[in-house]
Amino acid sequence: MKKCILVIFSMLFLVACGNSNENAVCTRKEDIQELSVDIEYEKDDNKVVLVAYTTKINIEESSYTKEDLETNGKEYETTIKTVNGVSYSYEIKDNVYTEILEIDLEEGDLDALSKLGLITKSSDDAKTVKLKSLFDNYEALGLECEQ
Confidence of residue 16 (pLDDT cuts 50, 70, 90): very low
Give the integer Cα–Cα distance in Å for 85 and 79: 13
The three-point CA angle 54-11-87 to 5° equals 40
Interhelix angle 66-80/2-12, nearest 10 degrees: 50
Provide the domain limits for residue 95: 2-146
pLDDT for 7 equals 44
pLDDT for 110 equals 80
pLDDT digits (tens, 9 = 90+) for 32-69: 567 777 777 777 776 778 888 888 999 998 888 999 99
How many domains does the chain fold into?
1
Give the CA radius of gyration of the chain. Answer: 15
CATH of the domain at 105: 3.30.1830.10
Torsion angle of C-alpha atoms 38, 42, 47, 48, degrees rounded to 10? -50
Beta bridge partners of 37: 26, 55
> How many residues make up the chain in this entry?
147
pTM of the model: 0.72
Give the integer Cα–Cα distance in Å for 51 and 83: 15
pLDDT at 2 over 90: no
Alpha helices for the chain (secondary structure H): 2-12, 66-80, 110-115, 134-140
Buried b or exposed e, range 2-31, using 16+ CB within 10 angstroms = eeebbebbbbbbbbbbeeeeeebebbeeee
